[in-house]
Amino acid sequence: MCGIVGLYLKNPALESKLGELFEPMLIAMTDRGPDSAGFAIYGDEVGEGSIKLTLRHPDDEYDWEGLADSMRHQLRVELSWMQNANVTVFKVVGEEAQVRGWLEENAPDVLILSVGQSIEILKEVGLPENIAGKFNLKNMKGSHIIGHTRMATESAVTMEGSHPFSTGMDLCLVHNGSLSNHNRLRENLKREGITFETENDSEVAAGYLTWRLRQGDSLKVALEHALEDLDGFFTFTIGTRDGFAVMRDPIACKPAVLAETDDYVAMASEYQALTTLPGIENAKVWEPEPATFYVWERSA
Amino acid sequence: MKTYDLTEAAVRDLNQALHDQSPECVEREFEVLNPKGQHNIACGIDQNLSVDIKGHAGYFCAGMNKKAHVTIHGNVGQGVAENMMSGTVRVKGDASQAAGATAHGGLLVIEGNAGARCGISMKGVDIVVKGDVGHMSCFMGQAGSLVVCGDAGEALGDSLYEVHIYVKGTVKSLGADCIEKEMRDEHIAELTDLLNRAGVDEDPASFKRYGSARQLYNFKVDNVSAY
């Protein structure tokens, strides 16, 4: 059992309150997932030619300034950074491969949680309430956010096994369920050049979507393929730079509820997590259909 | 009438108050405010009570109901009225999966749509759904009836025993051993009664009947020799 939640704002006026609206949603799913929690928030975009990385080091006292200085000098890149607890966001004018390669060589202890132009991922072992507090979720701003509370089944209670998983630029996925063909699929995807950080089944689903999007699929087409190729139980909530999607497997034994108003689209494992949203009493509330995906995207 | 606001009272306290009415009833009408999707609301009632839940409820709402009339003015999560014995449960909105699962008796009315596995392993309950039902509805249904005024999803009535299924709309597919059957006068009469009891205005003649072909293993007398 796990809890997943997502909030996609249709009304930009609410963007300054995204964290405040989302925090109680995440905490409401504690009884579905008390082992670890995390969220991916989209906003504060960097421009073309720049990337944003969320980096984590287990040591709270880690010398991020030193790391930033070395990267600046050795890669000759413009860089700014900001710290949030033991996680830091680096904004770099540069290429993903170059920055990733440099970090792997020069700071192997630093874990890359996400790379993109918009996404930031924050996750940790522990109760959702503590994690929301640690990262000051309620003061965060953005356009959309997806979160996960984990009750571990397929792999250990570790930071690495915590969701959300991101395997490509700005793509992120949270999963309630378990995949049965993840081992074979992981091997196939590795041959296609997708890299995995963990043995977790959900990361394979994220990797699969990254691969499809890399082939040029739209999010909708990628999800159509995912319904064919992923075997197992799943309710997914997926974030991209401009989009938000929800998909359930054909058996649909993992719960999901959607709510939509003029201001937002919200998703949760259980309705309980939606009750604090403004106007929820009059929202359109429904259960997503099996083997069906729902996509909301900002028009480019 | 007694009112419980679930932002102040715990579900456990509400349920205890409902259970306290079973030896001797001193309060027949209950109103529940702000259910906010909480689970197990109004479970295990054993008295002729009237309970109105004003909002969306979570899982197993009105489970194991006996005698009471429970109305949910909103949607419900999984397993509404599961294992109901008697009484009436009415959902004004949609119901999630496994509505009326294993229920032995009473009437379950869903005014919106029901999700997958509606009436799974039902054992005597009557279920009337004004909208659609999801896949695998009535799976291994043993007794009672299921009325669907909208459409039914895949594998309707799989491994069915004796449940009478009536569907007005389309059936995406029938499950193993479930077939369409002739609508005779007694079925029109039964369906008319079910629609009346549910307060649903539909023409019984516009429905089709489905039931068990009785061809699976457990229907074959030859298999008795295995025991």
Q: Is B79 on the interface with A (CB under 8 A)?
A: no
Same domain? A181 vs A34: yes
A287 has a chain B CB within 8 A of its CB = yes
Q: Is the dihedral of CA A150, A154, A159, A160 positive or negative?
A: negative
Candidate from A252, A270, A286 with C-beta closest to B77: A270
Chain A environment of B78 (Cβ under 8 Å): 255
CATH number for the domain that contains residue A229: 3.60.20.10
Q: Do residue B134 and residue A290 have CB atoms under 8 angstroms apart?
A: yes
User: In chain B, how many H helices and how many E strands?
Assistant: 2, 11
Asked if residue A72 and residue A155 are part of one domain, the reply reads no
Domain C-terminal end among A62, A96, A117: A117
Alpha-carbon distance of B152 to A275, in angstroms, equals 30
**How crowded is the C-beta side of B161, counted as CA atoms within 13 Å?**
12
Residues near B175 by beta carbon (within 8 Å), at least 6 away in sequence: B136, B139, B154, B155, B156, B157, B158, B159, B160
DSSP B192: H
Residue A164 burial (CB < 10 Å; 0-12/13-18/19+)? buried
| pLDDT, chain B, mean | 97
Tokens, residue A126: 């522990």
pLDDT, one tens digit per residue, over A52-100 is: 999 999 898 999 999 999 999 999 999 999 999 999 999 999 999 999 9
- Sequence-distant (6+) residues with CB within 8 A of A286 are A257, A258, A259, B75, B94
How far does B118 lie from chain A, in Å, by closest CA? Answer: 13
Determine contact, residues A243/A209, Cβ cutoff 8 Å: no
B36 contacts in chain A (CB < 8 Å): 271-272, 275
Give the angle subtended at the CA of B134 by the CAs of A246 and A174, to the nearest 5°.
Answer: 20
For the stretch A13-55, pLDDT in tens is 999 999 999 999 999 999 999 999 999 999 999 999 999 999 9
High-pLDDT (> 70) share of chain B, % = 100
Q: What residues contact B39, with CB distance under 8 A and at least 6 apart?
A: B11, B58, B59, B60, B61, B77
Query: Do the bridges between strand B178-181 and strand B208-212 make them parallel or antiparallel, or are there none, so unpaired?
Result: antiparallel
Map tokens 């491969």 to a residue.
A97
B2-217, what's its fold?
Pectate Lyase C-like (2.160.20)
> In this predicted structure, what is the pLDDT of residue B44?
98
Question: Are A241 and A163 contained in the same domain?
Answer: yes
Report, as an integer, the average pLDDT of A198-215: 92
Q: Do A274 and B116 touch (CB under 8 A)?
A: no
Quick check: B160 pLDDT over 60? yes
Give residue A158's pLDDT: 87
Q: How many domains does chain A have?
A: 2
The domain segmentation of chain B, as residue ranges, is 2-217
DSSP string, B35-51: -TT-SSTT-S-BSS-EE
Query: Does the pLDDT value for residue A154 go beyond 70?
Result: no
Best residue in B33, B54, B56 for a mutation probing chain A (most A CBs within 10 Å) = B56
Q: Does B100 contact A at CB distance below 8 Å?
A: no
Q: Nearest by CB to A285, from B75, B97, B115: name it.
A: B75
Q: How far B80 CA sits from the closest chain A CA (Å)?
A: 14
B58 touches chain A (CB under 8 A): yes
A103 and A168 assigned to the same domain: no
B63-70 mean pLDDT: 98
What average pLDDT does this structure show over A100-124?
95
Chain A CB within 8 Å of residue B115 CB = yes
Whichever domain contains A59, its CATH number is 3.30.70.100
Q: Which residue of A has its CA nearest to B94?
A: A286
ipTM of the complex: 0.89
- Structural domain boundaries enclosing A277: 2-45+124-297
Of A178, A184, A53, A183, nearest to A119 by C-alpha is A53
| A256 has a chain B CB within 8 A of its CB | no
B87/A contact by beta carbon, under 8 A? no
Q: Across the interface, which of B58, B97, B116 has its CB nearest the CB of A271?
A: B58
Q: Are A144 and A196 contained in the same domain?
A: yes
Question: Of the candidates A102, A117, A132, which is a domain's last residue?
Answer: A117
Query: A169-183: per-residue pLDDT in tens?
Result: 999 999 999 999 999
Task: Tell me the pLDDT of chain A averaged across its residues.
Answer: 94
Question: In the listed set A117, A143, A169, which residue is the last one of a domain according to the structure?
Answer: A117
Rounded CA separation B99/B116 (Å): 8
CA of B59, closest CA in chain A: separation in Å?
9
Question: Which of A210, A132, A198, A195 lies closest to A162, judged by CA?
Answer: A198
| Type of residue at A50 | S
Rounded CA-CA distance B94/A130 in Å is: 35
Sign of CA dihedral B174, B176, B178, B179: positive
Closest by alpha carbon to A147, among A7, A293, A1, A289? A7
For chains A and B, count residue pairs whose Cβ atoms are closer than 8 Å. Answer: 45
Q: Report phi then psi at A179, rounded to 5.
A: -100, 140
Contact at CB, B37 and A271, closer than 8 angstroms: yes
pLDDT category at A229 given cuts 50, 70, 90 is very high
pLDDT, mean of residues B80-98: 98
Contacts of B72 in chain A (CB under 8 A): none
Q: Tens digit of pLDDT for each residue in B213-227?
A: 999 988 888 888 877
- What is the length of chain B? 227
Same domain for A182 and A211, yes or no, is yes
pLDDT on residue B221: 83
For the stretch B30-42, pLDDT in tens is 999 999 999 999 9
**Known active-site residue A2:** yes
The mean pLDDT value for B194-198 works out to 98
Tell me A171's DSSP state.
Answer: E
Mutate to test the interface with B, among A32, A287, A292 (most CBs of B within 10 A): A287
CB-CB contact of A287 with A268 (8 Å): no
Pairwise CA distance, residues A256 & B94, whole Å: 13
Whether B74 shows a pLDDT value over 70: the answer reads: yes
Residue B12 buriedness (CB in 10 A; 0-12 / 13-18 / 19+): exposed
Identity at B88, one-letter amino acid code? T
Is A255's Cβ below 8 Å from some Cβ in B?
Answer: yes
Q: Which residues contact B58 (CB under 8 A, 6 or more apart)?
A: A270, A271, A272, B35, B37, B38, B39, B40, B41, B76, B77
A194 in the same domain as A57: no
Residues A269, A3: contact at Cβ < 8 Å? yes
Backbone φ and ψ for B164, nearest 5 degrees, come out as -95, 125
Q: Is A255–B115 a contact, with Cβ atoms under 8 angstroms apart? A: no
Question: Which residue in the list A1, A2, A113, A189 is annotated as catalytic?
Answer: A2
Note the pLDDT of residue A300.
52
- A219 and A259 share one domain: yes
From chain B, the residues in CB contact with A250 under 8 A are 135
Q: How far is A162 from chain B (nearest CA, A)?
A: 26
A272 closest CB neighbour out of B37, B75, B134: B37
Whose tokens are 């005014």? That residue is: B111
